[in-house]
Structure 1
Amino acid sequence: MPTSAARRVSRRVAAITPSATLAVDAQAKALKAAGENVIGFGAGEPDFPTPDHIVEAAVEACRDPKNHRYTPAPGLPELRAAIAEKTQRDSGYEVTADQVVVTNGGKHAVYNAFATLLDPGDEVLLPAPYWTTYPEPIRLAGGVPVEILAPESAGFRVTVDQLEAARTPNTKAMVFVSPSNPTGAVYPREEVEAIGRWAAENDVWVVTDEIYEHLTYDDHEFHSMPAVVPEVADRCLVLNGVAKTYAMTGWRVGWLVGPTDMAKAASGLQSHQTSNVANVSQRAALAALTGGLDDVVRMRESFDRRGKRMHQLLNAIDGVSCMAPQGAFYAFPSFEAIVERGSVAGRPVASTVDLAKVILEEAKVAIVPGEAFAAPGYARLSFALGDDDLGEGIGRIADLLGR
């Protein structure tokens, strides 16, 4: 018989840190529901509706009885083929449909990648700042995340020397993300190539998240590591999805691309986790991938304009400095000088966690503190929101910090 002291939640799950970005978004929405005029810079999702032709494809899919049934666990065959074609078209990386596993969103792809790849004790090199989700599925799989700081002075990009210094006999993989969430950094081609060659030479797996591939600005360009360094392909898992490119965060369609043995293993895992992704969402994703990039171009132009405006407004605030966003849709300003003051609006502030709380409660603006990304002193602000809210929100922060 269990005693009152018996463990109710497993140690593995109890150790998970909830998503900070979703927590901030939920708190902002709760305040809005209570009647507060809150502006949210927290959630990483486009504010645009999903393009009409994608929605229409989903409506038609709802009416087709074949979509009312189970389908193959790794995804609809035609969608897997379209993902393979899209991967070659957009990044120059040639793959086949049997290398693709369609997942329930990008996070599911991240989880399946590490669950398939890692054994207990395997180390994963994790450049920081990093997206708040990455460490958790590594730990759930029994792996050990090894953080490597990429400072702002280096453009938030790690070097081969840093990776080599962190490598041990237990190193199994590294995480590579460009464009970056949360920093907006984009690695130039020569650095992608250098890191890829280092990984290939040292038999280090690369888990590369390419979900922001179409969101780069000015002269910054996306480069897919297995396309630039073909010899890394046999030890590379590419993660992607429709969420950011096509404004489809709620549709929950992502994918994993890798060597056929890894794809088969991930498919077997998924067959016991979730079976297939919802068929209507898969049909919508198929329409997205085969419908051209005109809507994507328009959204990117808006993000570019908003990012430049946010960068300008943030740098105009005394005590705040911000690198110009190069990709994705985030600004990642430093508030270190503000925190060093020790107080804001008469309230004590010892960290960006404290600062974010004061900004939300006093200015009714939600930002994500840098501690969520292993970058204390910084904060992530999404510019995937309307122009009016963007200006009003930064204005409120400026007014509060200027008191």
Structure 2
Amino acid sequence: MSSDDFGIGLVGAGFISREAHAPSVEYIPDARIAGIQNRTRENASSLAADCNQNGNSEPSIYGDGEIKALATDPDVDAIWVTTPNFTRLNAVKAVIEAVEDGADLQGIAVEKPIGRTVKEGNRLLELVDRVDLPHAYLENWPHEPDVGDMRSLLWEQGRDAGRPYIARSQAEHGGPHSGWFWDGRKQGGGALTDMLCHALANNEILLSDPNGSPPKAVSVTANTGTLKWDRNAYAEELEAAYDINFATDPVDDYASATIQYEDANGRPVISEASGSWCYVGSGVRRTIELLGPEYSGQVLSDETSSSVFFSDDLSNDEGWAEKQNATSGRMPVSAAEVVKGGYVAENRNAIESFRDEQNARLDLDDGCRILRLCMAAYKAAETGQEVDPRATDLTEYVPFPARK
């Protein structure tokens, strides 16, 4: 364990590490990326070079099968697991085995979702609890400054009128950036698990009394569909890009879910979540709302005061913004996206919590609960019936897009 800056070991050098976690650490005093492990060592080296150039850190580099070596690196104080969904459980298992063999870690943080099924999520949590290691669930939406400010203000100023009773979160973009997202067995589902795990977690936080306990989920209804990407031209596009036969093995590219909760007084409050991979526009389009008696609040993530335009003569067919699906047109510019997007806050909270030998504000128990809601939503969509998450055994349930 290092004695100066808090050293983060990244397991995974993909998009979320490169575009969110590594850049966000530059904003956190006394923290740095100390090591990077990736199945493809060249990708770890590339990200390490970026960290060196942008953040004045020199991460150690580890390749395939070297997660334990990363966990025992004396400069690494905690592990951030950001690998693809189908590798996540084994990555955590390797970290825990290193701890059992003597690795001196202060905590482990796991990117959303923590598993592809309830069974997988429960197993991951059991492994971490086995060594009594502080943990964090990396879900950035509730950490976003605009979302947090809206929640605090409405609960504080609106409490005399009554608690909030509806939270809505909606997000859509043009489709994932890596092939494994489109594979139901590797990802664990489709747009529902990819998009609604954000929205459902965010809604639950918005509906939770800052001075009390979260409301209890009592019913789940949901709908899923494949609206765009199984059409011939688009399926051929996916096959060419990712070698995926989406025409014969589609997943949902649209999903919506409604969760009914009961508050401490037994009154209903509602979470409405939706998401899709069908949006044609500039990056990610998202709306977050919180409504109560005599008040409401809204966060629009694609609203910005500045934008840019590049002609195709300059683009070389390459995008530069997250989920950009066109190389021409006006694109919004958001300053310090890792700050506005909540990544700095979520990572700062995890680091501070681990230093205090505590779990983060959102921990792996929260991750398991949100994963369970996602599975309940898939089951509700599949059966066309309302699911009571309190009474339904979802341990062995596998979403229909993820079955062999």
Length-normalised TM-score, structure 2? 0.35
Higher percent of residues as helix:
1
Question: Which protein is richer in strand relative to its size?
Answer: 2
TM-score by length of 1: 0.35
